[in-house]
């Protein structure tokens, strides 16, 4: 029975799942859009938005900025990406109360017919 079991396992153990989520969030922040499966995008979306909210709170409150930066760096394992979160995304989404990402369906993948989606940050700069 699945009573009171939350989260998506994605056929991985906890260490593999944690690594997958961190890598997907890091790539999303680097490129501002990624193509992945629908299940992975839905699983990662909450983590990506939570980190931006932490960065916004860290920028707004002077005393907690260091703590927020350390939390974001600890999750992403990359100081340059964490710096981008604080310097680019926190000011960009300062007036927005959540909903920093969008999922656009692309169709099925040819190899295994998995539902593919485009996970992207809203209000991004288009080249």
DSSP the chain: --TT--S--TT--HHHHHHHHHHHHHHHHHHSEEEEEHHHHHHHHHHHHHHHHHHHHHHHSSTTHHHHHHHHHHHHS-HHHHHHIIIIIHHHTTT--S--EEEEEEEE-TTT-PEEEEEEETTPPP-
Per-residue pLDDT tens, the chain, 127 aa: give them: 889 888 889 999 999 999 999 999 999 999 999 999 999 999 999 999 999 999 999 888 767 889 999 999 999 999 999 999 999 999 999 999 999 999 999 999 999 999 999 999 999 877 7
Predicted structure pTM score? 0.91
* CATH code assigned at 52: 3.90.1030.10
- Number of domain units in the chain: 1
Range of the domain at 26: 14-121
Question: Does 127 reside within a domain?
Answer: no
């Amino acid at each position: 029975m699945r009573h009171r079991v939350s989260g998506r396992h994605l056929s991985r153990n906890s260490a593999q799942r944690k690594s997958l989520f961190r890598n997907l969030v890091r790539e999303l922040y680097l490129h501002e859009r990624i193509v992945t499966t629908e299940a992975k995008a839905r699983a990662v979306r909450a983590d990506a938005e939570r980190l931006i909210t932490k960065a916004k709170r860290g920028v707004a409150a002077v005393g907690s900025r260091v703590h927020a930066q350390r939390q974001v760096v600890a999750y992403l394992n990359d100081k340059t990406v964490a710096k981008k979160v604080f310097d680019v995304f926190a000011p960009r989404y300062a007036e927005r109360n959540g909903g920093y990402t969008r999922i656009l369906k692309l169709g099925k993948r040819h190899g295994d017919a998995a539902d593919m989606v485009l996970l992207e940050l809203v209000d991004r700069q288009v080249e």
